[in-house]
Chains A and B, each alone.
Chain A
Amino acid sequence: MILKFDDKIPIYLQIQNYLNRQIISGKILPGAQLPSVRQLAVEVTANVNTVQRALSQMIDEKIIVPQRGRGNFVTVDVELIEQLKMKLIDEQFALVYRQLHDLNFSDAEIIDKFVEYVKNRGALDE
């Protein structure tokens, strides 16, 4: 996947998001080793320092565990990844919810519409 940056949002956040999504979607498995900082920098076309900053944030959040002299590894704590997933779902719903709310839909309407949408979408995909 090629990452296209939105220049309005801090690059390190976008890299962090990108990696989080890869972990959540299982493209990078729990316990797997991440590429080196420079490899990641080349992969996403960003500065090594910026990538390092994104990784530091993820280390602080314990999603990534650095091992001395060996590099960075994705946590094996599935619970944490689950939490990350919940957080992401939360964020996406918050966004949709706020936008629909701004359009004066009631909570019940939003739920109905969403159920209907998923049903149609599911039929479409089959």
Chain B
Amino acid sequence: MSEILKIENLNYSHRLKKILQDVNLTLQSGKIVGLLGENGAGKTTLMRVITGVAHATGDITVAGETEVAARKGHVSYMDHLGAFSLGTHLDRIVKFYQTVYADFDIDRFNELAEFLNIDTSLKLSALSKGNKEKFVIALTLSRQVELYLLDEPFDGIDSMSRKDIINSIIKWKPETATIVISDHYVSEISSLLDEIVVIKDETINCHLDADKIREDKGMDIEDFYESLYERGTDND
């Protein structure tokens, strides 16, 4: 097992507001990690900063690379396709990915597309929210990298699609790769997680082994997560 991600003394402000402070985090390879926190806690920001589309102070190392452009070659982040007009055919977007990412595995994409029932002859405008999300996830998982960042992949998705997506994550996750899944609703993914990382009060509140929480505290992950907030209000 090796270190896939190392974040040291990261600070980030946006529009005069501190979003993340003194973040330190190390993730090992081969894990599925839940990134938990309330809406607006900074989960998306942390992911954006890791990929390099947002800039923070501090050091970020992904698979040994610190330089932004090189780092981008080791991280696959969900791109919500805002750059493409609604009339764009999915085929064209797949082609875009295939051209632009040397690590894009078209066979894996085709398998995922079949498994998730994605019709790539459609236009972007013809997709429901759930189908678009599936398409984005298929694209994201089809790159062969060390670190995958899935930002709220189940947002607004029905339970059947959710199951499909969870299964595709289990099925297609490369053995040594680490997947970070952010979510503000824990219970839907808790059985899937090796570890959880909670962002609270602009920093990493805790980083724990999921089964260790169950073993030591006899709590389910959701209760544990909620207990962090109760403790917070007691102290105030």
Contacts and interface: CB of A to CB of B under 8 A. Distances in A.
Contacts of A38: 170-171
A46 interface: yes
B193 interface: yes
Contact of A47 (B163, B192, B218): B192
B14 interface: no
B63 to A, nearest CB: 19
Given A45-B167, A48-B175, A8 B192 contact: no
A23 to B, nearest CB: 22
B214 A48 contact: no
Contacts of A48: 170, 173, 175
A8 B170 CA distance: 22
Contacts of A1: none
A42 interface: yes
Interface in B111-140: none
Contacts of B221: 7
Contacts of B30: 49
**Size band of the A side of the interface?**
10 to 19
Interface string B206-221: 0000110011001111
B214 A7 contact: yes
Contacts of B166: 45
A48 B218 CA distance: 22
B161 to A, nearest CB: 14
A42 B194 contact: no
Contacts of A9: 214
Contacts of B222: 7
A42 to B, nearest CB: 5
A74 to B, nearest CB: 23
A73 interface: no
B167 A47 contact: no
Given A7-B191, A38-B170, A42-B170, A47 B214 contact: no
Interface in B180-198: 187, 190-194
Contacts of A7: 187, 190-191, 214, 220-222
B31 interface: yes
Interface in A44-69: 45-50, 53
Q: 6 shortest A-B CB distances, which residue pairs?
A: A7-B220, A10-B211, A10-B214, A5-B191, A8-B220, A10-B215
16 contacts: A6-B220, A7-B214, A7-B221, A8-B220, A11-B191, A13-B211, A38-B171, A42-B167, A45-B170, A45-B191, A46-B191, A46-B192, A47-B170, A47-B191, A48-B170, A50-B211
Given A8-B214, A38-B171, A47-B192, 5 more contacts: A5-B191, A9-B214, A11-B211, A42-B167, A48-B175
